[in-house]
Structure 1
Amino acid sequence: MTRTRKLAGRAVAALLLSSAIALSPATAPPAHALFGGFGGIVYDPTNHAENLLTAARTLEQINNQIAQLQNEAQMLVNQARNLASLPYSSLSRLQSSVQETQRLLGEAQRIAHDVTEIDRAFTEDYGAAAARGDFDQMIAGARGRWETSVAGLEDSLKVQAGVVGNIETARAEMGALVAESQAATGALQAAQAGNQLLALQSGQIADLTAAIAAQNRAQTLETARRVSAEAQGRENLARFLDYGSGYEPTTVRMFGG
């Protein structure tokens, strides 16, 4: 700023000199008026005032141009800040947490989260199917359903443990993203920080969904086991009470007679 004003001052001085030279033929008094009786130069105050006014106007125009250039430069700086990208990304860590939850869900034992497998299991092992077969087959089916219920409870606990483990990751990422948002230098950085906070919230919702799904799966398997046990119990009772055609007398031989 100081250097610019120095250059402006030099330009004004040069302009004053050139103005004085340029205006002297038009405004100079006659030759006999330039020299008095004693040979001195006559001073024209009107011409001098006009030259000063012209120089002042020229200096004002230069200052206005300098201020305009400064405003344009500041505007470019602000635009650059608004277009600057956020130097922080939490995407890989958030994706890692979601993938870990998906892995735990994918390790579901026996009846997994698959529609085809669920249809097959409930057709062959649960409900009315629990009352088919002989006594040994019923015992084996009941034991299998009990083991499936236990496995479902174990899977639910694993998923819940994974979700709890992701809480610390979410806390750390939340703190980092809030700090980046508060320190953002432009609109783009603030928007990107906000988007990553939304992604973090989406990851937490995914964890919550996984935990609820795993818990509901365990509860559903246990409920299905109880219903199947009731169906099997009714069938066992019916078989026990089935006396066939009843007692029929027959001829009995005793003592070889």
Structure 2
Amino acid sequence: MHLYVAIGALSITIIPSAHAQWAVYDGANYVENVLIAARTLQQIDNQITSLANQAQMLVNQGRNLASLPLSTLGTLQSTISQTTALLAQAQNIAYSVQSVEQQYQQAYTSISSGMSDSTLFSQAQTRWQNSVAGFEDALKLQARVVGNIPSDSSAMTQLVSASQTSTGALQAAQAGNQLMALQSRQLSDIQAELAANGRAAELERARQAANEAGAEAQYQHFAQYDAYVPEAVSIPGSGN
């Protein structure tokens, strides 16, 4: 009887001790942990956004540094070389100050009445050949300039298209530079054509002026002879 009561008392004493081990919920600590996690996620998100912006900036820089795949420099240089070659092939009187001075002095300004008729004729022939050659040179150069128009039109179309579809600042700038180079070459063509036309016109005017001086010299030759005096002519069998 007493043993049973003791066991029962012991049991009653042990049971309350087992219920005392339950976990206690700390709401303030939980809220703090959630805030820390939220701040951490926000920092990670900010870092991701920053990295994305930096990556986009690098992509834009790559586009700005990308070279234009189209280049018309070779064509422009070839065209300029052809025009320069035509100018270098100028006949008789070249585009040279020394050549002009020498040949102009010989054929245009050294005319005098002391020259023989054959010399005057030879100089006149040389001047005529110079004028004809000058007009021929001008026509050749005009043909070259006109022949450049189709290729210029094609190059301009390509460059404008490349400028409008450029992916970065460098490509747009390069397209603009090539357009300016094309315009400069076209201006060079105009200068060359004006020079050739002016050369031909000046040679013709010089020829006309020199021919007047030559005609005056020939008149002086003719004036040196005595005037014609008619004489009686005896015709055989006429009885006179």
Could you say whether these structures have the same fold, taking a TM-score greater than 0.5 normalized by the shorter chain as the test? yes
Equivalent position of 1:85 in the other structure:
67
The reply on whether 1:169 has 2:151 as its aligned counterpart is yes
Deviation per residue, 1:190-227 (Å, 9 max, x gap): 11111111110110011001100000000010001000
Equivalent position of 2:102 in the other structure:
120
Letter in 2 for 1:179: S
Inter-partner Cα distance in structure 1 for 2:18 and 2:170 = 76
CA 37–112 in structure 1, closer or farther in 2 if over 3 Å, else same? same
Identity percentage of aligned residues: 49
Inter-partner Cα distance in structure 2 for 1:119 and 1:141 = 16
- Taking only aligned residues, the RMSD between alpha carbons, in angstroms, comes to 2.0
SS across alignment from 2:202: helix
Inter-partner Cα distance in structure 2 for 1:121 and 1:59 = 91
Q: For this pair of structures, how many residues does the alignment match?
A: 212
Give how far 1:132 is off.
5.0
Inter-partner Cα distance in structure 2 for 1:114 and 1:60 = 79
Give how far 1:189 is off.
1.1
CA 152–130 in structure 1, closer or farther in 2 if over 3 Å, else same? farther
**Contact kept in structure 2, 1:128 and 1:228, CA below 8 Å:** no
The reply on whether 1:63 has 2:63 as its aligned counterpart is no
Give the unaligned 5+ runs of structure 1: 1-34, 248-257
Inter-partner Cα distance in structure 2 for 1:204 and 1:239 = 52
CA 63–241 in structure 1, closer or farther in 2 if over 3 Å, else same? same
Letter in 2 for 1:194: G
Give how far 1:127 is off.
2.6
Equivalent position of 1:254 in the other structure:
none
SS across alignment from 2:94: coil
Inter-partner Cα distance in structure 2 for 1:131 and 1:44 = 132
SS across alignment from 2:198: helix
Aligned partner (choices 196, 212, 215) of residue 194 of structure 2: 212
Give 1 or 2 for the bigger CA radius of gyration: 2
**Contact kept in structure 2, 1:130 and 1:232, CA below 8 Å:** yes
**Contact kept in structure 2, 1:109 and 1:148, CA below 8 Å:** yes
Deviation per residue, 1:114-150 (Å, 9 max, x gap): 1111111111110343655211121121112111101
Q: Which has the higher contact order (CA 8 A, sep 6+)?
A: 2
The reply on whether 1:233 has 2:211 as its aligned counterpart is no
SS across alignment from 1:138: helix
SS across alignment from 1:109: coil
Give the unaligned 5+ runs of structure 2: 1-16, 229-240
TM-score normalised by the chain length of structure 2: 0.83
Inter-partner Cα distance in structure 2 for 1:96 and 1:53 = 73
The reply on whether 1:52 has 2:34 as its aligned counterpart is yes
Question: Which runs of at least 4 in structure 1 moved beyond 4 Å after TM superposition?
Answer: 35-39
Inter-partner Cα distance in structure 2 for 1:235 and 1:110 = 25
**Contact kept in structure 1, 2:107 and 2:123, CA below 8 Å:** yes
